[in-house]
């Protein structure tokens, strides 16, 4: 039988297949060959033994310094009257030593002679305060390069030809198999591999200067030179990027093929009348993105656009103009917000921006005016019925809501546009639920996010969406000044901070104080305080509000906002804050997203080190939204020089959200960045990093677009089609497909 990448391992490595399955969870030749080496050691270059960490499973290259057998009488002689033997071997890296110990294996000294070079693998233990490997696996390397080798070793690994290479691939392993046992199996698999269809078409390989798949697999597992594994990894990294991008390109292609009703601009309609009464001029970005969106809406295929923009860059206006264009063309728009507070605020904002244009069917409504409905989970029965009716009958041109909008019972007369605000809070599934409403024509979709996403992450996670960016803030807006307040070392700085808050309030302005938990003993509280490294539970909203009102902020009107307030109470306190009847709002991060009170100028974030960098950036975006400059104080007890403190200094030093997101992404693990995309049992990205390999992703995206445009079914590229189908079938693919 001919061996290909899909061949099951038992046909190639025999009984080792079972061990590979338990140790590495690999079943096929292809899966084994994507278990890539962790590092490459040069033969004869000894491992640094001073850096071994206790408890880790290590593979080290070292030279034997001494090996002695000692008898030990403690356990008593065996039946033949011999005392048991302990073999103590000391290996060296030239400077430091490591002890290897074997019990009752006196024959070990036959092979482990002083001067012998070998690989030793095991879990780092400790004896008398010094690191030790107990019963390590050993393989000797004193064999001529490319010379004849005896194939029997005490490891039973079989083929050790690979050990004659000048470069030794070291594999990640948990200890059930040694690195060289994996290497031996891999080598056997490579030798038996016959049929190999390269998924990357030859012209693309030539264009990108990539080696073919066979060369790449050989180079990554059995390199002769560093250049071999470098070019191999470059090629295999590109594979990962290409397959992901082809999946996304095909998805875009499918979406583009779906029907949607075109919603062409209507001269003299609501959109035009709204533009005429705007109290400000649109920024260049708003104008540019507005035209892109207007053109998208006029097409007979659904728009799928991601609008990224700094907090305060004016995304809402862009969305509202799009919604009005759809209403002018006879459709309706839904505006989805992640929280009840935000939905209410959007409803207020949209209604007030529209003025009499939103009073359709009411006294004082402008001619042709529409109506704005609100649908949230906390509506009373009567209000809910009315909102449902307005959506179903079409009298509400705009329906604002939370996920309650996604329920089956919510019907629209003619839903033409779905705007999703602050995407990062929304499940992709939920987005799918709204756009997939059974009707033949799909609504257009505009997703807005204020969390700037690095380009490569956007390309990978939102690769099905066209991306627009609002880069600049409206004219006259001054960036928020951010300072770190080290509360432990400099208590007077915090006092001065509260003084600043009092001054702002005295000048008629307002402030937020953000705390990491509510402090009412609820579960969110406990979770917040339960982190492994957290010593104290952190400031609670309730206690902080009380303390401030009775001390540093005495005489100031202090309000409280958090997620466990009854919806009516939330609404009331937000209304009072918006109306200026509350001076200082002490809140959890419910204020993080989209809350817009232009008169608020100061934000004090307590225990700032507990938040992600992007989250801090979001938070500070809540101040300085009016004419006055904003100030953000990041209060922390993290000691100077600690990583937490450095992160805060970095956020304070930049006002650029994209820079913050780059910092944030660099700090997080790849899997966190990609989230659900990587939730499949076997991640599809091994060598490719969305953080580090932007150029590869950009190239692959262009190539994928070209391939799919010319051959959407990939009929001419069967090998690529198989890889793409495999990814589409994984959890990751399922995720992508639902967006």
Q: List contacts with Mg ion (CB under 5 A).
A: 316, 594
- Shortest approach of Mg ion to residue 319 CB, angstroms? 9
| Contact flags string 313-332 toward ligand ADP, x per CB under 6 A | xxxxx---------------
In a 13 Å sphere around the CA of 10, the CA atoms on its Cβ side amount to 3
Quick one: 203 exposed, middle or buried, by C-beta within 10 A (0-12, 13-18, 19+)? exposed
Nearer to Mg ion, 185 or 349 (CB): 349
- Binding to ligand ADP, residues 297-316 (CB under 6 A): 309, 311-316
- Shortest approach of ligand ADP to residue 350 CB, angstroms? 10
- Shortest approach of Mg ion to residue 257 CB, angstroms? 32
- Shortest approach of ligand ADP to residue 308 CB, angstroms? 10
Which residue's CB atom is positioned nearest to Mg ion? 594
Nearer to ligand ADP, 217 or 317 (CB): 317
- Shortest approach of Mg ion to residue 263 CB, angstroms? 23
Nearer to ligand ADP, 245 or 286 (CB): 286
- Shortest approach of ligand ADP to residue 658 CB, angstroms? 14
Asked if residues 281 and 314 have their Cβ atoms less than 8 Å apart, the reply is no
- Shortest approach of Mg ion to residue 316 CB, angstroms? 5
Q: Which does 591 bind (CB under 5 to 8 A by kind): Mg ion, ligand ADP, none?
A: none
Dihedral sign, CA of 549, 553, 559, 560?
negative
**Encoded tokens for 642:** 């600690």
Specify the DSSP class assigned to residue 477. Answer: P
End-to-end Cα spacing for the chain: 42
Cβ neighbors of 663 (< 8 A, separation 6 or more) are 613, 647, 650, 651, 654
- Shortest approach of Mg ion to residue 577 CB, angstroms? 17
Q: Which does 625 bind (CB under 5 to 8 A by kind): Mg ion, ligand ADP, none?
A: ligand ADP
- Shortest approach of ligand ADP to residue 288 CB, angstroms? 12
Nearer to ligand ADP, 261 or 450 (CB): 450
Instruction: Find the part of the chain contacting ligand ADP (CB under 6 A) among 46-54, 277-285, 610-618, 666-674.
Output: 277-285
Nearer to ligand ADP, 201 or 474 (CB): 474
Nearer to ligand ADP, 131 or 657 (CB): 657
The helix (H) or strand (E) run that includes residue 547 is helix 541-550
Nearer to ligand ADP, 305 or 625 (CB): 625
Please choose, from the candidates 265, 338, 299, the residue with its C-alpha nearest in 3D space to the C-alpha of residue 443.
299
Cβ neighbors of 195 (< 8 A, separation 6 or more) are 2, 3, 4
What span, in angstroms and rounded, lies between the C-alpha atoms of 140 and 153?
8
- Shortest approach of ligand ADP to residue 660 CB, angstroms? 15
Which of residues 394, 474, 537, 580 is near ligand ADP by CB under 6 A?
A: 474
286 touches ligand ADP (CB under 6 A)? yes
What span, in angstroms and rounded, lies between the C-alpha atoms of 703 and 723?
16
Dihedral angle of Cα 447, 451, 453, 458, to the nearest 10 degrees: -20
Nearer to ligand ADP, 360 or 657 (CB): 657
450 touches ligand ADP (CB under 6 A)? yes
Angle between helices 731-738 and 226-257 (to 10 degrees): 40
C-alpha angle 611/318/257, rounded to 5°?
Answer: 100
Instruction: Find the part of the chain contacting ligand ADP (CB under 6 A) among 47-55, 280-288, 375-383, 627-635.
Output: 280-288
Cβ atoms within 10 A of the Cβ of 48, count?
12
What span, in angstroms and rounded, lies between the C-alpha atoms of 519 and 484?
24
Nearer to Mg ion, 316 or 739 (CB): 316
Quick one: 150 exposed, middle or buried, by C-beta within 10 A (0-12, 13-18, 19+)? exposed
Quick one: 500 exposed, middle or buried, by C-beta within 10 A (0-12, 13-18, 19+)? middle
Nearer to ligand ADP, 315 or 502 (CB): 315
285 touches ligand ADP (CB under 6 A)? no
Instruction: Find the part of the chain contacting ligand ADP (CB under 6 A) among 196-204, 215-223, 590-598, 688-696.
Output: 590-598
Q: Which does 714 bind (CB under 5 to 8 A by kind): Mg ion, ligand ADP, none?
A: none
Phi first, then psi: give them for residue 603, nearest 5 degrees: -130, 130
Cβ neighbors of 466 (< 8 A, separation 6 or more) are 292, 296, 303, 304, 305, 306
Q: Which does 181 bind (CB under 5 to 8 A by kind): Mg ion, ligand ADP, none?
A: none
Instruction: Find the part of the chain contacting ligand ADP (CB under 6 A) among 119-127, 333-341, 593-601, 704-712.
Output: 593-601
Asked if residues 186 and 33 have their Cβ atoms less than 8 Å apart, the reply is yes
Instruction: Find the part of the chain contacting ligand ADP (CB under 6 A) among 16-24, 164-172, 594-602, 652-660.
Output: 594-602
What three-state secondary structure class fits 4?
A: coil
Q: Which does 309 bind (CB under 5 to 8 A by kind): ligand ADP, Mg ion, none?
A: ligand ADP
- Contacting positions for ligand ADP (CB under 6 A): 280, 282-283, 286, 309, 311-317, 450, 474, 594, 596, 598, 625
């Amino acid at each position: 039988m001919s061996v290909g990448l899909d061949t099951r391992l038992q046909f190639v490595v025999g009984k080792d297949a079972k061990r590979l399955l338990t140790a590495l969870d690999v079943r096929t030749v292809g899966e084994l060959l994507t278990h890539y080496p962790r590092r490459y050691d040069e033969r004869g270059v000894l491992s640094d033994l001073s850096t071994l960490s206790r408890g880790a499973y290590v593979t080290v290259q070292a030279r034997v310094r001494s090996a002695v057998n000692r008898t030990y009488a403690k356990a008593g002689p065996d039946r033949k009257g011999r005392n048991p033997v302990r073999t103590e071997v000391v290996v060296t890296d030239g400077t430091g030593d490591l002890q290897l110990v074997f019990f009752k294996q006196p024959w070990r000294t036959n092979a482990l002679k002083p001067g012998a070079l070998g690989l030793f693998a095991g879990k780092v233990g400790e004896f008398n305060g010094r690191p030790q490997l107990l019963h390590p696996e050993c393989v000797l390397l004193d064999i001529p390069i490319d010379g004849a080798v005896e194939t029997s070793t005490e490891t039973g690994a079989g083929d050790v030809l690979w050990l004659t290479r000048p470069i030794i691939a070291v594999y990640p392993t948990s200890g059930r198999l040694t690195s060289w046992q994996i290497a031996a199996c891999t080598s056997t698999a490579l030798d038996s591999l016959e049929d190999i269809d390269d998924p990357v078409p030859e012209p693309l390989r030539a264009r990108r200067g990539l080696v073919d798949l066979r060369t790449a697999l050989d180079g990554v597992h059995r390199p002769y030179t560093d250049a071999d594994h470098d070019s191999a990894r470059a090629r295999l990294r590109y594979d990962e990027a290409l397959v992901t991008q082809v999946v996304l390109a095909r998805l875009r292609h499918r979406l583009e093929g779906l029907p949607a009703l075109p919603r062409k601009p209507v001269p003299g309609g609501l959109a035009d009348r709204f533009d005429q009464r705007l109290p400000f001029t649109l920024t260049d970005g708003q104008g540019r993105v507005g035209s892109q969106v207007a053109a998208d809406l006029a097409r007979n295929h659904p728009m799928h656009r991601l609008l990224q923009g700094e907090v305060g860059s004016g995304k809402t206006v862009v969305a509202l103009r799009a919604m009005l264009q759809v209403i002018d063309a006879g459709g309706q728009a839904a505006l989805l917000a992640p929280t009840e507070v935000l939905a209410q605020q959007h409803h207020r904002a949209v209604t007030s921006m529209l003025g009499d244009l939103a009073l359709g069917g009411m006294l004082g409504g402008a001619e042709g005016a529409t109506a704005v409905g609100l649908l949230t989970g906390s509506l009373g029965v009567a209000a809910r019925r009315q909102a449902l009716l307005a959506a179903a009958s079409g009298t509400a041109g705009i329906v604002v809501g939370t996920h309650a909008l996604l329920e089956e019972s919510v019907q629209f007369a003619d839903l033409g546009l779905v705007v999703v605000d602050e995407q990062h809070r929304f499940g992709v599934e939920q987005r799918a639920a709204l756009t997939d409403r059974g009707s033949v024509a799909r609504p257009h979709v505009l997703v807005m996010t204020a969390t700037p996403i690095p380009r490569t992450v956007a390309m990978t996670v939102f690769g099905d969406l066209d991306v627009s960016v609002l880069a600049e803030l409206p004219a006259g807006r001054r960036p928020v000044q951010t300072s770190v307040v080290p509360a432990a070392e400099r208590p007077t700085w915090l006092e001065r901070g509260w003084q600043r808050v009092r001054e702002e309030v005295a000048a008629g302005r307002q402030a937020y104080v953000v705390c990491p938990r509510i402090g009412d003993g609820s579960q969110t509280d406990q979770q917040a305080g339960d982190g492994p490294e957290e010593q104290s539970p952190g400031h609670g909203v309730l206690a902080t509000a009380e303390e401030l009102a009775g001390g540093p902020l005495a005489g100031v009107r202090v309000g409280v906002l958090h997620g466990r307030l009854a919806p009516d109470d939330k609404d009331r306190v937000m209304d009072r804050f918006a109306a200026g009847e509350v001076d200082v709002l002490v809140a959890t991060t419910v204020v993080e997203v989209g809350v817009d009170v232009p008169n608020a100028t100061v934000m004090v974030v307590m225990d700032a080190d507990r938040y992600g960098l992007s989250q801090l950036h979001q938070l500070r975006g809540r101040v300085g939204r009016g004419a006055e400059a904003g100030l953000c104080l990041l209060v922390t007890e993290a000691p100077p020089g600690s990583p937490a403190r450095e992160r805060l200094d970095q956020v304070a030093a930049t006002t650029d959200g994209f820079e913050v997101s780059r910092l944030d992404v660099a700090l997080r693990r790849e899997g966190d960045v990609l989230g659900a995309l990587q939730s499949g049992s076997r991640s599809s990205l091994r060598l490719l990093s969305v953080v580090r390999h932007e150029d590869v992703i950009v190239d692959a995206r262009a190539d994928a677009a070209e391939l799919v445009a010319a051959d959407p079914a990939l009929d001419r590229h069967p090998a690529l089609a198989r890889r793409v189908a495999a990814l589409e079938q994984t959890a990751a693919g399922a995720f992508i497909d639902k967006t």
